[in-house]
Amino acid sequence: MNIKKMIYLVAFFIFMGPKPTNIVFFNNKIFIAFAPLFVLLVLWYCYKEEIRKYNFNDIKNREFFSIFINCLQFSIYSQALTSIILGQSAGAYDSILQTYLIMPLYAIMVAPLAEEIVYRKIIFKYLDKHLNFWLSASISSVIFAIGHFSLNRFLGYFLTGMIFCYYYKKSRSIVPLIAAHSAINFISIFVATIKS
């Protein structure tokens, strides 16, 4: 793993990744407002060449759209299955989403980008070079699910992680996964807004 990936991982896990939400340092408006922006700056520093080289015309092709729809569809199914089996409950970050006005924007725009790079592009890709697909995807998906701090939603996050790993391996592009992740977060916030 190269030094830039290590820098990004450290920045992600310190400033954006899983952490107890009841610790005052992590649960204050200054930290919450600026930490994701800092992670975006680190992400740009580490991946600017790759971002510049990406052909954004790929977004128009059928494969991109197909992967986006499949990821979105199977993620909704996995979350629905989890709700049916375990019931609905608030996750650890739900109160933060409602407390800080900037959080829905971060959840829709920053978190999908940051998380897909960490959980799929770095962790899964690294493990997939050394282990078989199922083990690599399982480990990456467990870490992804733990990172969302919701025991009742763990299965849904795990299944979503597995689906995303499958499509990442198939396409070797995280861009449709980022788009699907963003859409899932938008739908979740939209539904929560209507229900409240």
- What string of DSSP letters covers 105-172? HIIIIIHHHHHHIIIIIIIIHHHHHHS-HHHHHHHHHHHHHHTTT-TTTHHHHHHHHHHHHHHHHHH-
Specify the pLDDT at position 144.
94
* 25 in any annotated domain: no
The radius of gyration computed from the CA coordinates of the chain, to the nearest angstrom, equals: 16
Specify the pLDDT at position 16.
80
* 126 in any annotated domain: yes
* 7 in any annotated domain: no
Element (DSSP H or E) covering residue 66: helix 62-86
Q: What is the block-wise mean pLDDT of the chain (196 residues), using blocks of 10 residues?
A: 84 75 62 86 90 84 93 92 76 66 87 94 96 98 88 90 97 94 92 81
Q: What is the pTM of this model?
A: 0.87
| Structure tokens that stand for 97 in this block | 């989403």
Q: Which domain holds residue 126?
A: 59-195
* 139 in any annotated domain: yes
* 36 in any annotated domain: no
How many domains, the chain?
1
Specify the pLDDT at position 145.
93
* 30 in any annotated domain: no
* 48 in any annotated domain: no
